[in-house]
């Protein structure tokens, strides 16, 4: 493990960033390189070279691994490339696709593809990294340096109606992040998730053109990449198992769902009539628009 006198420095660290050929992933990879990390740039074959060249032009070190993150061979190749650069310290799972349709129109293939790239892709690389870190931990008995930064989405928190596949995959990523944080924390690994609002090729139809008039587009990846570099740094050691919404110069820490109401049976078990008198009665006067969705996010402004 390299000596880090500066808790914000990534000198001597090695990072893997998926979907780093353009957009948010590229901005994250460059931010990590500027902080001192060597970076394995992943994207589909042929799509990662320009990002790698940008990092090298900055004086950094970069390797390219082309491939589908939903395939085990790609995850294996990314870890192997990182080890050739000196080790593996940071994983940024960013790669993703969308296939938006209403639930009743969505095909099997559209659901499976989105879940594969997002959720399975996050799992494969995280699992391989976790295996590597556990091996180091068992070998030395000491804590290891490991950072996992996953990419969730507000879609999973609010339930965007035209994205059943995407919302479900992103909710799975949040759960995967929490499980990773709890399962790996004792050995020194930190796992957190970001839910970014960023104007990229994947979200062009969502955000449209920048009409803010600001010097930096509120939905620019420039607002997201610094948080990723921070969560990758030693300074973030106290942060684990958290979910952050980030855009436009704003970072919002999300809380876990809270218990809204408890219902207890007056007998041994509920029957339908009692459920109607307790659970049903509670909802009779409740705003039907209030559900499990984090609708307060819609009110976030900058």
- Mean pLDDT, to the nearest integer, of 130-157? 97
- Mean pLDDT, to the nearest integer, of 18-38? 97
3-state secondary structure of 181: helix
pLDDT at 208: 63
Residue 209, pLDDT > 80, answer: no
Greater confidence, 106 or 198? 106
pLDDT at 1: 46
pLDDT digits (tens, 9 = 90+) for 167-205: 999 999 999 999 999 999 999 999 999 999 877 666 655
pTM over 0.85: yes
Residue 144, pLDDT > 50, answer: yes
Q: Which among 166, 180, 219, 247 is annotated as catalytic?
A: 166
Task: Tell me, yes or no, if 153 is annotated catalytic.
Answer: yes
Q: Which among 126, 145, 170, 220 is annotated as catalytic?
A: 170
Task: Tell me, yes or no, if 158 is annotated catalytic.
Answer: no
Would strands 38-43 and 146-151 be described as parallel, antiparallel, or unpaired? Answer: unpaired
Task: Tell me, yes or no, if 298 is annotated catalytic.
Answer: no
Binning pLDDT at 50, 70 and 90, where does residue 302 land?
confident
Task: Count Cβ atoms within 10 A of the Cβ of residue 154 and give its class: 0-12 exposed, 13-18 middle, 19 or more buried.
Answer: buried
């Amino acid at each position: 493990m390299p000596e880090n006198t500066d808790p914000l420095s990534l000198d001597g660290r090695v990072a893997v960033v998926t979907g780093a050929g353009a957009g948010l992933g590229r901005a994250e990879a460059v931010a990590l390189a500027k902080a001192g990390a060597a970076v394995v740039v992943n994207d589909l074959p042929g799509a990662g070279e320009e990002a790698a060249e940008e990092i090298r032009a900055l004086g950094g070190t970069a390797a390219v691994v082309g491939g589908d993150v939903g395939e085990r061979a790609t995850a294996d190749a990314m870890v192997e490339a990182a080890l050739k650069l000196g080790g593996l310290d940071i994983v940024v799972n960013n790669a993703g696709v969308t296939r938006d349709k209403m639930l009743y129109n969505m095909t099997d293939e559209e659901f499976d593809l989105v879940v594969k790239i997002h959720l399975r892709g996050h799992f494969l690389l995280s699992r391989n990294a976790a295996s590597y870190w556990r091996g180091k931990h068992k070998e030395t008995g000491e804590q290891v340096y490991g950072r996992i930064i996953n990419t969730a989405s507000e879609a999973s928190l609010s339930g965007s109606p035209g994205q059943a596949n995407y919302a479900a995959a992103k909710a799975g990523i949040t759960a995967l992040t929490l499980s990773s944080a709890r399962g790996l924390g004792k050995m020194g690994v930190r796992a957190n998730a970001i839910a970014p609002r960023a104007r990229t090729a994947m979200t062009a139809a969502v955000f449209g053109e920048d009409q803010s008039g600001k010097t930096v587009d509120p939905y620019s990846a420039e607002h997201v990449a610094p948080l990723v570099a921070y969560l990758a740094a030693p300074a973030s050691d106290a942060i684990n198992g958290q979910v952050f919404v980030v855009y436009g110069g704003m970072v919002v820490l999300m809380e876990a769902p809270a218990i809204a109401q408890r219902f207890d049976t007056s007998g041994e078990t509920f029957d339908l009539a009692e459920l109607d008198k307790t659970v049903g009665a509670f909802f009779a006067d409740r705003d039907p628009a209030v559900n499990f969705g984090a609708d307060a996010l819609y009110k976030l402004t900058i």
